[in-house]
Structure 1
């Protein structure tokens, strides 16, 4: 089963523990997490369902390629990591 995990910084602001489940794409993995906490959707996705600019998702050690549909495929043993991107000057 794929596992989706969130950084401690995100967990500090939202209740989003790691989730495991059957998911064929990054979108399906996120939907598992959104089912547990619907507020998380608005924090990670914009009004069009695309990944917000301040959020980065990795599957294992590679950044997702499809930030719009989140259609990157997942293998059953993949780990999905959701980060809040940092910026500054």
Structure 2
């Protein structure tokens, strides 16, 4: 007898599209939605309660701090690069 696998294991959140739009597009959507709904840490209070309010707008549900970020993640790779450069510059000045 053939083993059955867990339903929805491959489709993840993009399973709502059924067989439409192609495998690659559904996989990309599922990857983005996993990043978007992941737990993120608030830079103000340190709690893991940051939620996406709208495109590029993120809010901490504990301290109610609202800040801007990327469309799908609070800190984009470009933001992290700039913050690293600022830290290096601050260490040179002091």
The verdict on a shared fold, with TM-score over 0.5 as the criterion, is no
Report which of the two has the higher share of helix.
2
Question: Scaled by the length of structure 2, what TM-score is found?
Answer: 0.28
Pick the structure with more strand per residue: 1
TM-score w.r.t. the length of structure 1 is 0.29
* Structure possessing the higher relative contact order (Cα contacts under 8 Å, 6 or more residues apart): 1
